[in-house]
Structure 1
């Protein structure tokens, strides 16, 4: 029987929390009947590096404005430090990781909006080495740094990157974030969200900023994948175990 492939996006403060990633990689070690691809950002690390370099970080519609002069620091933090931190935790948990950018993972980037400078949007290029790596037992760990056809580099929102890779692989998609689920106006978890409900909560200002990007990306991915996409917390590794076993944990986004 063919293994099911899961794309797991690690976000939030997972990189800044000692052994948090290790606990998640331990869960994956106990799931030999599945294939996994890890996609990550590293916003807090980027903030720190830019601040230390004397830059001011700004956001527009929940996305980091990424001027050319900041890109070496953004690339270094995401494709360098964050990626290798995750590789280290994966190795300690018994995996054989390979660090990649979006280019090797079958995703080409192009400019999203002029106002965002070098923030990229994703386009599939059908030239991915992910399946080759999975076939030889490796764990791809993909940073959200992308390239266009001319080799210009871009900072891509990691949620959008994970959705693009899941679409390429026709894989299940889980966003592991800082919160247990998407919350309603009373800060109570929402177990399921569809297009209409999401539009209402965004219009009411309940879902804003980074979570708005995440929810819209999840919905877009659910439409393309024609299946539910999950948002759950990395702070409880047992949530990941439950999701992999087909249980409903966190928020399920459906078209």
Structure 2
């Protein structure tokens, strides 16, 4: 049995039919093949933006990471672990899947503060095996929000790309980042089929890879190095890419160790 960890951005919920199409594709794969199982890890940045704005908070980012003051965490956690998670569950149920929503603690990960200047932005710390394997054995599809809990009793906002990488490491799974672009682009906005560490560093230095994509690519590289195999960046706008990747095709950008 092969485990696939798929990270999807919260932008999927903002695009009509995108989440529905994605889960329909996953259902089709599950029907056609009993040798693959899936764990989805999600963010929800645009939803968090709206909730914070409605509450009167200003938001800021540093190198693609949302600065998360403690007073904003109830809204951030509510948007991610509550609203976004349950909306995705609803789409999965409609596609005849059996989702179970959870956060990073249930996935076997604790969180700790990344940098004091970033507030409650967290990073993953292995804790135990969690319940994901048990859920998968029961035929469920875990939907994991990137909300973390610390042994200090605090809530943490963990970058969803980093969370997906940590979960893939826990499960020794294949890792796919589904983003809003089909691949990482070069300076001429052309898709790159494959990237290694030297190429990534050169593109970041040249200002071609910036912001959220810089975080995603760096996280992908660390994941590839830890898993000792390539990870993929592809597009949720083309859910058929999932079937292609599961079947061994090369679509999107492969980040190699």
- TM-score, reference length from structure 2: 0.97
Residue 19 of structure 1 deviates from its aligned partner by 2.0
Distance (Å, rounded) in 2 between the aligned partners of 1:152 and 1:71: 9
Segment drifting more, 146-155 vs 45-54: 146-155
1:10 aligns with 2:18: no
Report if aligned partners of 2:149, 2:156 keep a CA contact under 8 Å in 1.
yes
Q: 1:31 is paired with a residue of what secondary structure?
A: helix
Distance (Å, rounded) in 1 between the aligned partners of 2:142 and 2:202: 37
Distance (Å, rounded) in 2 between the aligned partners of 1:216 and 1:54: 33
Q: 1:24 is paired with a residue of what secondary structure?
A: helix
Residue 12 of structure 1 deviates from its aligned partner by 4.9
Residue 125 of structure 1 deviates from its aligned partner by 1.2
Segment drifting more, 232-241 vs 206-215: 232-241
Residue 151 of structure 1 deviates from its aligned partner by 2.2
Match of 2:181 in 1: 179
Distance (Å, rounded) in 2 between the aligned partners of 1:132 and 1:22: 26
Distance (Å, rounded) in 2 between the aligned partners of 1:17 and 1:227: 31
Segment drifting more, 146-155 vs 24-33: 24-33
Change (3 A) 1:12 1:143: closer
Q: 2:144 is paired with a residue of what secondary structure?
A: strand
Out of 81, 91, 96, which is 2:93 matched to?
A: 91
Residue 196 of structure 1 deviates from its aligned partner by 0.3
Out of 162, 166, 169, which is 1:160 matched to?
A: 162
Distance (Å, rounded) in 1 between the aligned partners of 2:109 and 2:13: 24
Question: Which residues in structure 2 correspond to 1:43-122 (within 5 Å)?
Answer: 43-122=45-124
- TM-score, reference length from structure 1: 0.98
Report if aligned partners of 1:12, 1:177 keep a CA contact under 8 Å in 2.
no
Report if aligned partners of 1:19, 1:89 keep a CA contact under 8 Å in 2.
no
Gaps of 5+ in 1: none
Residue 51 of structure 1 deviates from its aligned partner by 0.5
Report if aligned partners of 1:103, 1:146 keep a CA contact under 8 Å in 2.
yes
1:229-248 superposed Cα distances (whole Å, 9 cap, x missing partner)? 00000001111111111100
Distance (Å, rounded) in 2 between the aligned partners of 1:155 and 1:58: 14
Match of 2:29 in 1: 31
Q: Number of residues paired by the alignment?
A: 253
Out of 113, 125, 128, which is 2:127 matched to?
A: 125
Gaps of 5+ in 2: none
Q: 2:4 is paired with a residue of what secondary structure?
A: strand
